[in-house]
Homo-oligomer: A and B are copies of this chain.
């Protein structure tokens, strides 16, 4: 398979991204070619720095960068020769099957949606974040691509999230739930109540509404919500986890005895840190597009980029998009009698 990496736009500059891609190439022999898109001199310097002469690498020059500060749609209109647009076009033109970008999330969503187009039958792409929990990993989507959703969008997220959990993460009959303000069927807002009615008719292991309490207690494998709620939940979890560890560290270093205890137990903290390590995935797939797109963390360093490349190739290897197309077509049949676009349940 051939992939494209937008090396610009990350927080740490193109050198780090180039180096991360080289790491991925070293282990992923099934990658036949990589287009590195961005400013040619910066990419060449990056390759030189790490002594990379992999013949699979091809540089595609782009003179502009969509920065984190650019407003996505306005920025893309102004910067016609920015790296993310060039990168997206390579997939659109069939020169590559997959794309990784650590850039402006809104920019990646907008550029890939406009140029690559959603898969046949999919209305809106969604960002699927894999969240670690004590007993399982759950997929949360949409984590921010689509802030104003209609029920049919949530139903399609349910389908795509379920397939990602099953095909890529290896869960059998993943439990799919709609995130709501209570588990009872009547709980929810107009949007979730409408989505609930649609999801019940789909060929999913749909367990109904789930609430915040269910997320980290192994009751659900795919958590469906609109991009506003998903983004708030994702960032709140990141903030709380960081806060708890910061708190714990302060408490554990408050006295010499506690320090000694923490040192003896250091393996436990390390092990937990490993499980919660965001770099282990390095990014989140943007599901529902004609191509496999992964949005790497803006703050991604080498290892995170390397892992983002890996998870992107996994989506291609498992033919995720073919499965999504089949499932969405089946769903459209199942929902034929439904006023699917209407927000009213």
Contacts and interface: CB of A to CB of B under 8 A. Distances in A.
Interface string A297-337: 00000000000000000000000000000000000000000
Contact of A228 (B189, B248, B257, B258): B189
The number of chain A residues touching the other chain, given as a range, is 35 or more
B267 A258 contact: yes
A184 to B, nearest CB: 8
Contacts of A264: 257-258, 260-261, 264
A112 interface: no
B229 A212 contact: no
Nearest to A69: B184
A171 interface: no
A243 B216 CA distance: 6
A172 interface: no
A73 to B, nearest CB: 11
Interface stretch (A44-52, A161-169, A232-240): A232-240
Nearest to A133: B243
B238 A213 contact: yes
Contacts of A241: 240, 244
Contact of A236 (B237, B265, B266, B272): B237
Nearest to A254: B268
Query: 10 tightest A-B contacts by CB?
Result: A212-B235, A261-B264, A261-B265, A216-B243, A212-B236, A251-B268, A181-B231, A261-B261, A216-B239, A258-B265
Given A212-B234, A213-B235, A216-B240, 20 more contacts: A147-B189, A181-B228, A188-B228, A189-B228, A192-B228, A211-B235, A212-B236, A213-B238, A213-B239, A216-B243, A217-B243, A228-B229, A233-B233, A236-B237, A237-B240, A241-B244, A244-B272, A251-B271, A260-B261, A260-B264
